């Protein structure tokens, strides 16, 4: 998402870097190109115009024009304006003084409300806050069944009734949460293919009956400007307090992320970054701005790492590296842990400077990861712990068992040995030569 915008802006700043100083005409040229890049990313026209005017106003200042590093000065301005455009700072959920806190999810049909009700409930549960999920979508076939299935997966209760009255269902759900002492209620409301009066009246009645602390508009990021138009409609009738953008891991242009706060005043609070129930992250405007401009996102990378690695695991792994006891079993375990963090390509691009260093079409294919896993699983315990015993006949057997070629097995073993040697060097305080990921070839 927004990768194309990052590439366009990167090319603009690269040209600036070759100039000793900036003139006002240089700034105007950059502003025009930035405006085109934003429009190509499906950013709202008025938002793009305001953004570019703000850049021009700051970039023609004496400090920038006289700077010996004009490109860095302009990048800093663009970064600040991007952060401001997307809300300025992280917007946290608001909780009621007296429980339960009611969170109402609204949006069009197909935007992902039901799935993200489950994702939000899981995230709150991980923070020590239980939720009651309320199935108030009585129109979409299997909506109630879907929410009940999600509730079982995350071990949280779901309130559902054999009724066609969503207002009564929502009201009764809140009453049940009070009775059980559950601090949070998440109401999954119905959607339509487009905004209509009946939908809005129903949502207004649910709002009046449950007094939600948060009304979160769930929008599909891949719908671009349409998402901002719909959000304005919901905000006018309900007064939305925040936004969940789904499918932010997709390859759409992503203009909704850059337009929706400016046009509605409602901050983006969460983004969906995958299909798994754990794939919901808080939205940080400064981090997304940094990623767009190729600066990486170390904080998100650290947080994802902490979610899959404990301090004890990290220390144990460090000791194995130091003693050169790191085996293919250990490598397979680490590979599976890293996969929980998301796409390998995305993880690499969170490292500052890496997105610029990698080839434009760089991608680590999940099929390569699956191939590595199959090869290691086809080895005996002795072979995984002592790769030096792998003679020609053993390698042929492993290739046959894993559905790969002998060359694939050879490549994995060679690169694993290089990696282990690199880790040994690091333990000894030497500067290592970094090999490629074992068994994986960049596309």
Give the Cα separation of 238 and 124 in Å (integer). Answer: 24
CATH number at residue 361: 1.10.260.30
**Residues 288 and 306 both lie in one domain:** no
Same structural domain, 49 and 178: no
With cut-offs at 50, 70 and 90, classify the pLDDT of residue 202.
Answer: very high
Give the residue numbers spanning the domain of 106: 101-292
pTM of the model: 0.67
> For residues 148 and 163, what is the distance between their CA atoms, to the nearest angstrom?
16
Q: What are phi and psi of 215, to 5 degrees?
A: -120, 105
Burial of 49 (C-beta count, 10 Å sphere; 0-12/13-18/19+): middle
For residue 286, what pLDDT is reported?
Answer: 84
Give per-residue pLDDT as tens, 334-358.
777 777 766 666 666 655 555 555 5
Per-residue model confidence (pLDDT) at position 124:
95
Checking if the pLDDT of 292 tops 70, the result is yes
Q: Residue 406 domain-assigned?
A: yes
> Does a structural domain hold residue 49?
yes
For residue 216, is it within any domain? yes
- Assess whether pLDDT exceeds 60 at residue 435: no
Band (385; pLDDT cuts 50, 70, 90): confident
CATH of the domain at 53: 1.20.120.140
CA–CA gap between residue 302 and residue 196 (Å, rounded)? 44
Q: What are phi and psi of 109, to 5 degrees?
A: -65, 135
Report if residue 94 sits inside a domain. Answer: no
| Bond preceding residue 84 cis, omega within 30 of 0 | no
Cα angle value 3/366/370 (rounded, 5°): 170
Listing DSSP states for 354-370 in one string gives HHHHS-TT----HHHHH
Length of the chain: 443
Whether 37 is in a domain gets the answer yes
CA angle (414, 420, 424) in 5-degree steps: 145
Contact 203, 166 (CB under 8 A): no
* pLDDT at residue 227 greater than cutoff 50: yes
Asked if 357 and 313 sit in the same domain, the reply is yes
Distance CA(267)–CA(89), nearest Å, equals 9
User: Which of 63-67, 69-73, 230-234 shows the lowest mean pLDDT across its residues?
Assistant: 63-67
pLDDT digits (tens, 9 = 90+) for 124-149: 999 999 999 999 999 887 899 999 99
Question: Which CATH number characterizes residue 270's domain?
Answer: 3.40.50.300
User: Are 117 and 247 in a shared domain?
Assistant: yes
Look at residue 190 and tell me if it is in a domain.
yes
Q: Which of 270, 292, 314 is the endpoint of a domain?
A: 292
106 and 33 in a common domain: no
- The strand pair at 268-272 and 280-282 is best described as antiparallel
CA torsion, ordered 8, 11, 13, 18, to nearest 10 deg: -160
Q: Which of 268, 292, 316 is the last residue of a domain?
A: 292
Same domain as 154, residue 36: no
Say whether both 121 and 193 belong to one domain. yes
Query: Within a domain: residue 138?
Result: yes
- The reply to whether 321 and 408 lie within a common domain is yes
Q: Which of 271, 292, 313 is the last residue of a domain?
A: 292
In a domain, 17, yes or no: yes
Give dist(CA 104, CA 185) in Å, integer.
8
Residues 57, 135 within the same domain: no
Sheet holding 184-189, edge to edge: 158-159, 131-136, 184-189, 101-106, 214-220, 242-246, 268-272, 280-282
**Structural domain tally of the chain?**
3
Q: 418 versus 103: which is more confidently predicted?
A: 103
């Amino acid at each position: 998402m927004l990768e194309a915008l990052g590439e366009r802006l990167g090319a603009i700043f690269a040209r600036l870097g070759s100039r000793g100083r900036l003139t006002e005409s240089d700034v105007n040229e950059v502003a025009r190109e930035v405006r085109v890049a934003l429009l190509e990313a499906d950013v709202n026209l008025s938002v793009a115009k305001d953004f570019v005017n703000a850049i021009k106003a700051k970039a023609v200042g004496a400090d920038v024009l006289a700077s010996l590093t004009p490109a860095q000065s302009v990048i800093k301005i663009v970064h600040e304006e991007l952060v401001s455009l997307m809300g300025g700072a992280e917007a946290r959920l608001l909780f009621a003084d007296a429980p339960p806190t009611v969170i109402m999810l609204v949006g069009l049909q197909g935007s992902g409300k039901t799935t993200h009700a489950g994702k939000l409930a899981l995230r709150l549960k991980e923070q020590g806050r239980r939720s009651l999920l309320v199935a108030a979508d009585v129109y979409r076939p299997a909506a109630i069944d879907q929410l009940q299935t999600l509730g079982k997966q995350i071990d949280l209760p779901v309130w559902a009734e054999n009724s066609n009255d969503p207002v009564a269902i929502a009201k009764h759900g809140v009453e049940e949460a009070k009775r059980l002492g559950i601090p949070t209620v998440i109401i999954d409301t119905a959607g339509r293919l487009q905004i209509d009066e009946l939908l809005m009246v129903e949502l207004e009645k649910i709002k009046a009956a449950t007094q939600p602390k948060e009304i979160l508009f769930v929008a599909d990021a891949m719908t671009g400007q349409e998402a901002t138009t719909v959000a304005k409609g919901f905000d006018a009738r309900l007064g939305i307090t925040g936004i969940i953008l789904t499918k932010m891991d997709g390859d759409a242009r992503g203009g909704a992320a850059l337009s929706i706060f400016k046009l509605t005043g409602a901050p983006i609070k969460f983004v969906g970054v995958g299909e798994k129930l754990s794939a919901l992250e808080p939205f940080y405007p400064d981090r997304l701005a940094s990623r767009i401009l190729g600066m990486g996102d170390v904080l998100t990378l650290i947080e994802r790492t902490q979610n899959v690695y404990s301090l004890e695991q990290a220390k144990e792994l460090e000791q194995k590296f130091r003693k050169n006891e790191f085996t293919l079993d250990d490598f397979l375990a680490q590979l599976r842990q890293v996969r929980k963090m998301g796409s390998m390509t995305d993880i690499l691009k969170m490292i500052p400077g890496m997105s610029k260093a990698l080839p434009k079409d760089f991608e680590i294919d999940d099929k390569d990861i699956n191939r590595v896993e199959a090869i290691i699983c086809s080895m005996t315990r002795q072979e995984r712990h002592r790769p030096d015993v792998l003679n020609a006949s053993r390698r042929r057997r492993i290739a046959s068992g894993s559905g790969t070629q002998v060359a694939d097995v050879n490549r994995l073993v060679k690169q694993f040995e290089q990696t282990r040697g690199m880790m040994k060097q690091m333990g000894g305080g030497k500067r290592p030569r970094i090999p490629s990921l074992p068994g994986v070839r960049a596309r």
